[in-house]
């Protein structure tokens, strides 16, 4: 048995936390439990005992006050804001997909057996719409349900077909989304996305539920207000002779002339250089709603050549990680704006070695950096290129990337930086208003918001968000 919840895999801890939230919601809504503080939940034996069972059965750990009380505080804040916003509908099921030893974990007094609703809808999406990851349609973590079997039959009858063309799947998915919006508004089936609540109160928001919500999205315009793409280098991989009898003991071993040259140039003082950050970050301002978003663009892998991923975070008082923006949807968006041809989407299409990074390709990268810096200025901000001076960024940035390409262990960071520069250059090639429009749409893709986009352009599912 693990020592505490800090010692178990993140996916297991997430399962425990979401089951804990579902149980507290059930006690508050279905069993009419009332608490005035998180400490009172711990004093409620019926509630607290089950949470401890979840920790043991799902996580293999005992509840630890010093480590886990912050989760109890989060459970309390989550249920408090949910009840304030939706009251106490007559839900009969509070569920997520969870298993231990191959069998579903069920909260006490569940009215059903067999497959949890989460697993059912995941299979249905896969079979009917070829959606392999439910979160790319609806990122909810738990479901609150009335009359489950009744509405499952309704969903199947209204949206299933034997003829699965792209057109029919789009039409049926749009119908599915409409059904879930109606069920959500009528408090029959509600998917809830959960984030841990830190200091301050929880916030509840309904996403993709009403026509008014969609109209607000469609008229909103965020702005790109910052770009960070560091092109400097930093020292890594200090290699030392471990043979104490060797005359070079405790001195750095320089493998190649290129390494020695790089050190003399100041690209690294005691070791071979790597790019000073692995990522590029866009800062996007939503003034109307007093929110700021960052989109972190980086390699999918942290150890090898790979494609880019796009990870948004909402900053400020309601800071929250939002989950990855689905790559295919990002590329669909780029295609809509007419810039996909400017961004090769696969890492194999970029140089992987110094030899492949020819003078012609270096010249192209230099021009990309110049374009990024120039367009950023026209948008009202200065692109942050890190330790490289603005005046020398195009030339030095390209040289640094080439030097890092020379070492197999870190060549992937240079390859990734080339992808990031290409992506940035493509976005910033757009007219000013389209740059902001693209970034607005990019945030919505990441947040799974909107009646359009997503799979087949059919939009995203309805859900409530507590954060």
Tens-place pLDDT, residues 271-288: 447 899 999 999 999 998
> Over the stretch 400-424, which tens digit does the pLDDT of each residue have?
999 899 877 789 999 999 999 999 9
Q: What are phi and psi of 386, to 5 degrees?
A: 80, -140
* CA atoms of 275 and 412, how far apart (whole Å): 10
* 380-393 residue pLDDT tens: 999 999 998 888 89
* Conformational region of residue 233, where left means phi above 0, alpha means psi within -120 to 50, and beta covers everything else: beta
- pLDDT given at position 247: 44
135, with CB counted inside 10 A (0-12, 13-18, 19+), is middle
CA distance linking residue 399 with residue 381, whole number of Å: 25
Is pLDDT at 311 greater than 80 in this prediction?
A: yes
Cα–Cα distance for residue pair 464/467, rounded to 1 Å? 10
- Provide the total of helices (H) and of strands (E) in the chain, helices listed first: 14, 14
Mean pLDDT of the chain: 89
Q: pLDDT tens, 313-342? A: 988 655 566 778 999 999 999 999 999 999
Tally of CB atoms within 10 A around 313: 15
| Residue 164 to residue 150: CA distance in whole angstroms | 24
Instruction: Report, in this order, helix, strand and coil percent for the chain, each rounded to 5.
Output: 50, 15, 35
- Enter the tokens of residue 322: 């939002």
pLDDT at residue 69 tops 50: yes
Measure the CA–CA gap between 460 and 244, rounded to whole angstroms. Answer: 63
Predicted confidence at residue 96, as pLDDT, reads: 87
Q: What span, in angstroms and rounded, lies between the C-alpha atoms of 279 and 309?
A: 10
Cα–Cα distance measured from residue 207 to residue 196, given in angstroms and rounded to the nearest whole number = 18
Please say if the pLDDT value at position 12 is more than 60. yes
């Amino acid at each position: 048995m693990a020592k505490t919840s800090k010692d178990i895999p993140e996916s297991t801890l997430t399962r425990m936390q979401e089951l804990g939230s579902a149980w507290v919601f059930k006690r508050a809504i279905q069993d009419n439990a009332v608490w005035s503080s998180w400490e009172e939940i711990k004093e409620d034996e019926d509630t607290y005992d089950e949470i401890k069972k979840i920790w043991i059965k799902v996580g293999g750990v005992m509840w630890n006050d010093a480590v886990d009380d912050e989760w109890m505080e989060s459970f309390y804040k989550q249920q408090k804001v949910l009840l304030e916003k939706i009251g106490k509908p007559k839900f009969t099921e509070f569920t997520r997909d969870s298993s231990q030893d191959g069998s579903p974990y069920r909260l006490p007094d569940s009215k059903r057996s067999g497959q949890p609703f989460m697993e059912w809808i995941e299979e249905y999406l896969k079979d009917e719409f070829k959606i392999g990851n439910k979160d790319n349609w609806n990122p909810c973590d738990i479901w609150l349900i009335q009359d489950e079997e009744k509405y499952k039959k309704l969903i199947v009858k209204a949206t299933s077909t034997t003829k699965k063309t792209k057109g029919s799947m789009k039409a049926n998915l749009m119908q599915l989304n409409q059904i879930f919006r109606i069920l959500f508004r009528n408090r029959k089936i509600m998917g809830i996305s959960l984030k841990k609540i830190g200091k301050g109160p929880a916030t509840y928001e309904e996403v993709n539920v009403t026509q008014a919500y969609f109209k607000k999205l469609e008229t909103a315009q965020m702005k790109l207000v910052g770009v960070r793409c560091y092109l400097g280098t930093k020292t890594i991989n200090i290699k030392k002779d471990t043979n104490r009898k060797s005359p070079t003991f405790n001195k750095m071993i320089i493998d190649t002339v290129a390494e020695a040259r790089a050190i003399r140039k100041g690209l690294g003082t005691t070791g071979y250089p790597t790019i000073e950050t692995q990522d590029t970050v866009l800062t996007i301002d939503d003034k109307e709603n007093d929110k700021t978003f960052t989109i972190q663009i980086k390699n999918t892998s942290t150890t090898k050549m790979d494609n880019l991923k796009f990870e948004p975070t909402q900053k400020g008082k309601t800071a929250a990680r939002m989950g990855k923006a689905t790559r295919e949807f990002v590329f669909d968006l780029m295609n809509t704006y007419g810039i996909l041809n400017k961004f090769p989407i696969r890492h194999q299409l970029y140089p992987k070695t110094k030899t492949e990074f020819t003078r012609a390709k270096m010249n192209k990268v230099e021009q990309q950096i110049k374009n990024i810096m120039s367009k950023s200025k026209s948008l009202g901000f200065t692109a942050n290129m890190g330790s490289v001076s603005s005046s020398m960024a195009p030339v030095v940035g390209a040289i640094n990337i080439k030097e890092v390409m020379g070492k197999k262990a870190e060549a992937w960071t240079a390859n990734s930086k080339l992808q990031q520069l290409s992506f940035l250059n493509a976005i910033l090639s757009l007219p000013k208003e389209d740059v902001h429009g693209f970034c607005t749409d990019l945030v919505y893709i990441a947040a799974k918001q909107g009646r359009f986009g997503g799979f087949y352009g059919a939009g995203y599912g309805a859900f409530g968000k507590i954060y």
